[in-house]
Amino acid sequence: MFFKPNIDWLVGAIIGGVLICMGYLTFGQVSFDRIFFFSLIFVGVICRKEVNMLSVVVIVLASQVMSEAGFNILDKPDVFVKLFVYPALIYAIYNVRGSFLDWLVFPVVGMSIVAEIYWFIVGYNPPEIIWHLYLITLNMTLIFALDMRFLWVSRIWPREEKELNIDFIIKIPLLFVVLINSIETIEYIFRHMQLTSSTVIYYAGPYINSGMAIMLLWLIFLQAYLLKSRKTLTA
């Protein structure tokens, strides 16, 4: 038992190192998303009897499916797609509000709508800021779903619900994604309005988003390991 905390740190470091190498080798490739998806399925299988951990995996998996669907739908969207998607995003953001980043997200959405209308009127070929707004909405929804996880588990599996070590910290990478995509959207708008020539976030954003995805997966793997190792010691 004396060495157990040190072993946990070592395992955590190994998992983190493997995931960082994976992220580096597959950065910007479709294989990264596939590895992320199947890694979640793997954790779900080994933790299928741990309903609280399984609920986290299912929620994150659902968001990954929505991300892939959104990417395909919003690939070079026309004005009719935007007329449907923007109201849907506004409705979703309003219903999952509660983050301390609301003060940033709502003005960004408003700026984006005004910019899209202006670009349409003047016949300007607009940047695809709607994808970043979709990522913002998706991650805010994911944070909301993780907040609701405890209640949902208590209704489906009464008396099985319990808090996990990652219940709070898992929201940190998600909030970073919301923040970086909000700032990147502002940068897009300002640059295409000829108010700045900055591309700092444009180039840094993909690296930060990938880093946050790796951090999210690392936290899930680490929590799964801690649950299984403690169960083994108890047995």
Mean pLDDT by 10 residues, the chain (235 residues): 55 75 74 86 88 92 92 85 92 88 92 95 92 95 92 86 85 94 95 89 90 91 82 51
The tokens 């999952």 sit on which residue? 96
* Coil/strand/helix, residue 142: helix
Cβ neighbours around 129 below 10 Å, total: 22
**pLDDT at position 9, please?**
63
Q: Please give the radius of gyration of the chain, using alpha carbons only, rounded to the nearest integer.
A: 20
**pLDDT at position 180, please?**
95
d(CA 10, CA 203): 33
Residues 6+ positions from 70 with CB-CB distance below 8 Å: 131, 134, 138
| 0.85 surpassed by pTM | yes
**pLDDT at position 65, please?**
93
d(CA 211, CA 205): 10
What are 82's two structure tokens? 């935007």
**If residue 221 lies in a helix (H) or strand (E), which one and from where to where?**
helix 200-234
**pLDDT at position 32, please?**
83
Ranges of each domain in the chain: 33-234
d(CA 96, CA 158): 25
d(CA 119, CA 105): 21
The tokens 């399925």 sit on which residue? 41
Decide if 89 contacts 137 (C-beta within 8 A).
yes
What are 23's two structure tokens? 């992220």
d(CA 105, CA 95): 13
